[in-house]
Each structure stands twice: as structure tokens, then as C-alpha cells.
Structure 1
Amino acid sequence: MSYYFLYFLCLSFLAKVPGEEPTMIRISGQRGNYKTSETMDVSWEDCMVKCRADVNCVVVYKISDIQCQYFSFGSISTIQQAKSENDEIVLKIPTQVQCPTSNPLIPGPTYYTQLTNNQFYLTTVSPDSLYNNIYNLTYSVSTCPNNTKVFQRGETTVVCIGLYFFEAPRCNNQAAASALCKAQNGTLTGPANANEYEYIQDISNSSKYTSNPDSIQWLVYWIDGVQHTNIAYQYTFEDPTHNGITNYNWTPGSPHLTGPGICIYSPGPNYGNVQVYPCTDSYLSYLVCWRGALCQVPPIIELF
């Protein structure tokens, strides 16, 4: 087996672009099967810079020092290692702290992801199962239902998170919150990172004015976590993708209750940290109302 990899480019090699910068890997290779492309009359260096800054670009091929072939998301399905060092092709791979010292595409697969306009773009590069000089590129786009937002959890997991409200009665318990999420083909969830926590607080703040017909002073929402023991911070979860309470920001002094039948909730716009309360409570009063549930629902996935 022979490999003709020429360069592994560090981010500093190319001009800076705003936001997170993908790594561009340059190899001795050729384009394989593709549907569409664009020919650009620019220098090879400028072509690579343009591709890295363009979220739609996945691969560029060097035609000459002053011309390149430009491939957008979903347009090219294979690339092929070349025996000539004059054949150069560049593709995006996940951001790395430093240039790799060996071929980052082996053993694969390698994933490159983009979050753009509330859609999750996934490019997968995998060694071909039959030919050791060919790499296959596959693509998918995940779109979230209305009133939810897309978030990436882990390398390739994508979830849609939204705040859903009880209709009748307007205030309800944790079991009803779990059922509300299941009715959306989803599950009760919690924050998996700081970005999700910020989003949860934002939608909690807005719901105080848009989903509060009774002008309740404190609107609170059930999130994932039910206690079945007397051990503090030990809960069971419906959603395995948010890593338990790792990213839960607790109110000082909480959890102030422990024991079977204690559930976790988000205090909404008035207090920013999570707390606990008996799962069966709905607090029907003019001061406090368990108004709904934070749900993780599956995205709509389109394959290319």
C-alpha cells in the first residue's frame, strides 16, 4: 500500500477567517466522481483560502498554479490518491490544534460539521472498502422543527431543543412534562453545554411575556432528572445525550431536597440556576406555575 500525502497544513498557513477555522489538508490526489463544480481563475493559495472561508466548500482541486476546481457541499462523492506529486487536492477536516504528523483520514471515518442557519451540515470522509487509494464523501443536512434550535452534542450527534407548554391545565407535574415531550416524538432533556444553557435562559425569558396569559410571577419548567435514592446529585435521566447533571448550573444551596420522587426544574427568567422539587407538584397559584418542559426532539435529516 502506497500513500502520496504531501502536506498537512496548520491553520496559521492560511489567512485568518472569523469564527472557528477548519483545517485544510492538502494531499497528492485527484477528484473522483462528482456532480457539479466551478472552475476559478485564481492562484492555488487563494483558492484554498477561499474554500476555508466558505462554509459551502468541501474540496478544491489544483488544475494549475492559476486555476482550480471548486466543489461545494454534496457535489463530490470520491477523491483518489494520485501517484504524481503534481496532482494536489485539498479538503476540510475537523479543526486540529496542530498539524497532524500522520494521515488523519486513516482509519476513518473523519467527520466535518457546520452549524449554519439552524441547520447541521455533516460531511463524512471514509476509506473505500474495496480500493485503498479512494476516499468516499457522504453528506447529510439536519433541520430542526419550528420553535426549536439545533445543537451539536459530541462528534456527530445533533439534537433539536425547544420549550413546550402545557395547554390544559396550564400548570402541571413532571410526569405530564415527560409525556409532553414524548408527544413531540422527543424526550425531556437538560443543558449539555454553556451554549445550550444560554439558549434555555433566553427562551425562558421570552416565554414570561409570550406564554404567560395569567401573568404568573414565576414561570418554571421541568428538565431532565428524577431522583430514586436519598443520595444527593444522583438522578436518572430520559435523555442520555446531555451527560447527566455535568452542565447543570445549580442554585446555591441546592439540591435542598433529596429522596425518591424529587425532580429537577429550571426556574425560568427570575432565577438562572436549576433547583429541585417533588415531581408530583404543579404549584397552581398566581405566584408559581410549572408551565411546561424542555424537550429534545429528533431533527429532520436529509441525505445527499
Structure 2
Amino acid sequence: MKLAILLIFFFIGPGVISQDEASMVEIYAKVASEVPSTRGSLIPPATCVTNCLNNTYCILAYMDTEGYCLNYNYSDFNTTFEIVTTLNTDGFSVAVKINKVTCPKSYTELEFTYVDSRNDVNYPFQWTKTETGWTLLNPCPEPGKIFRRSETVVVCLQIYSLTGKIQSEASAFCESQGKKMSGIANANEKSVLTNGPAGTMWVDGTTTCQSKCKAADYTFTDGYTNTTEMDPNQNGQVRAYCLTIGAGSFWVQDCSNTDSIGVVCGSRLP
């Protein structure tokens, strides 16, 4: 294969991310899914790259043959994203944000690694080299929300609209999506997930406690929720043993209740 990487520039950023300063590596390449068009901004290439560098969430700047600039956030990538190497005469260039500031010795040593900074998680990711360029897999694309629970536990949670279902049916729905009905571990997760939907959503967590239930009274089956910061509202029900969230609060409901409007499904990231 003809060597297509003809240009490497480093733009050293002022901020520190994951104890490494951010850099932009510019190469002759194009975004595989992006047809050159008038989408984007007509600005100088250097400005296009600098704008991405200065944006915490931007990880890639793309300049097409017509001079249009497109900046991509990590959350913009749905599952797999690909960049394809080109020749300098083709007129395309891509600048990838990385967390290293030293220039590689050779083309084969290029490693594009950075972090997903949504919700201050700083979850590391790395582009995978292919025969034609690089691909990037986003394990938690929007509308999924990424959360760090500890140094070793990072989860991706997503709300699914699901009406008229009891708790066990909501759990089965998550399984059908290749996920688990997920517990809510802290106030931040609860706040982010209840910011918008009007109504309650099933979440993992059951109890036999009848009143004044605390976190220790609940059991979880998702495999990554061990405790919660909660003081659930019993909602006046006697046989209310299953957790839901809504309106910024936890609510304990009868497990056969069908009033919930959705369910929180998720998975633990590797």
C-alpha cells in the first residue's frame, strides 16, 4: 500500500486531560461516511483544528476538498466510526486528538488514544489500525449516558420508552437489547436520567422492606450496582417492592404496576 501519511502536525494544548496534554495529529485522510458537501464551516484549516483542540468534547476535525470544516464530538459517533487514508493530492485532511505530545518515530507507530470526557468520566479509548485507515468503536453512543462509579467501574445507561409493562417485563426488554435493567448508584445518575421524562421508569432494585427503607434493604441483579444514595418514597403502597425513578426521586412501586413510562437499561464497560 502506498504510504498515505504525508503530514503530521502537533498542536500542544494548554489543558491537562488524564495527566497528559492534548495534541492534534493531522493526516491526509477522510471521514468514510462523510460525502464532501457544503456541510460545515468555511474557515481556515488551522482554525478548524484549533477549535477542536480547545473543545473538551471534540476528538476529530475534518477538512474536505471544498475547504469545509467539521468538528466531531465523541458522542457523535454511533457505534463504529472510520477514517480512510488518502493522498495529499486528494485534498482531504483529518486532525485526531490524542493524549500524547511526543512525535512518533514512524508512521507505523501512530497510536490515536484519548478519553471520553462526558460527565467527567475520562474513559480511555483507542482507534484501531486497519488496512485502509483507522476505526473507532464507541461503546456508549448517544442517547446513552456514561458514568464512572469507581476507578474500575464505568457504566453506560440509557432510558427506553416502554409503557404498560410490569417490572419483570421491563427487565426482559433490557435483556432483549443485550443489556441489563440497571440500578442507579448515586444522585448524579438519578439527576441526569430524570432530567426530561415526565413519569416513572423501572430500574433495578427490589426489597421486602415495608417502610423507611434504606440502601442496605435493597438487592440488585445487574451485576454492577451494589448500593445507592437513596431514601425512596413508598408512595403509600403496602406491597411496593420494586424501584423506579422519576421527577428527580426514587419511588417504590408494586412490581406488577403498569404505570411506568420507561426503563433504564445499561451495561458495564470493559
* TM-score normalised to structure 2 length: 0.50
Tell me, yes or no, if the aligned pair for 1:163 and 1:294 is still in contact at 8 Å: yes
Q: CA deviation at 1:120?
A: 4.5
Match of 1:152 among 148, 152, 165: 148
CA distance in 2, matches of 1:71, 1:256: 64
Report what 2:241 is aligned to.
262
CA distance in 2, matches of 1:257, 1:152: 33
Find out whether 1:295 has 2:265 as its counterpart.
Answer: yes
Residues 75-97 of structure 1 deviation map (CA, whole Å, 9 limit, x = unaligned) = 349xxxxxxxxxxxxxx9xxxxx
Tell me, yes or no, if the aligned pair for 1:223 and 1:294 is still in contact at 8 Å: yes
Report what 1:121 is aligned to.
124
Which sits farther off after the overlay, 181-190 or 289-298? Answer: 289-298
Find out whether 1:176 has 2:169 as its counterpart.
Answer: yes
CA distance in 2, matches of 1:230, 1:71: 66
Report what 1:222 is aligned to.
202
Structure 2 matches for 1:233-272, cutoff 5 A? 233=214, 234-246=217-229, 248=230, 250=231, 254-255=233-234, 262-266=241-245, 268=246, 271-272=247-248
Q: CA deviation at 1:225?
A: 0.7
Cα 1:116/1:261, change in 2 over 3 Å = closer
Report what 1:214 is aligned to.
none
* TM-score normalised to structure 1 length: 0.45
CA distance in 2, matches of 1:70, 1:115: 28
Residues 246-294 of structure 1 deviation map (CA, whole Å, 9 limit, x = unaligned) = 3x3x35xx3467987611111x2xx321121221222xxxxxx211211
Report what 2:84 is aligned to.
none
Tell me, yes or no, if the aligned pair for 1:225 and 1:236 is still in contact at 8 Å: yes
CA distance in 2, matches of 1:146, 1:119: 16
Match of 1:280 among 256, 261, 266: 256
CA distance in 1, matches of 2:241, 2:147: 28
Tell me, yes or no, if the aligned pair for 2:204 and 2:221 is still in contact at 8 Å: yes
The AA in structure 2 aligned to 1:150 is I
Report what 1:58 is aligned to.
99
Cα 1:256/1:198, change in 2 over 3 Å = closer
Cα 1:70/1:237, change in 2 over 3 Å = farther
Report what 2:194 is aligned to.
201
Unmatched tracts of structure 2, length 5 or more: 1-11, 28-52, 60-96, 127-135
RMSD: 4.5
CA distance in 1, matches of 2:105, 2:207: 54
Q: CA deviation at 1:227?
A: 0.9
Unmatched tracts of structure 1, length 5 or more: 1-13, 26-35, 39-49, 62-67, 78-91, 93-111, 124-139, 209-218, 283-288
Q: CA deviation at 1:298?
A: 6.2
Q: SS in structure 2 opposite 1:143?
A: coil
* Aligned length in residues: 179
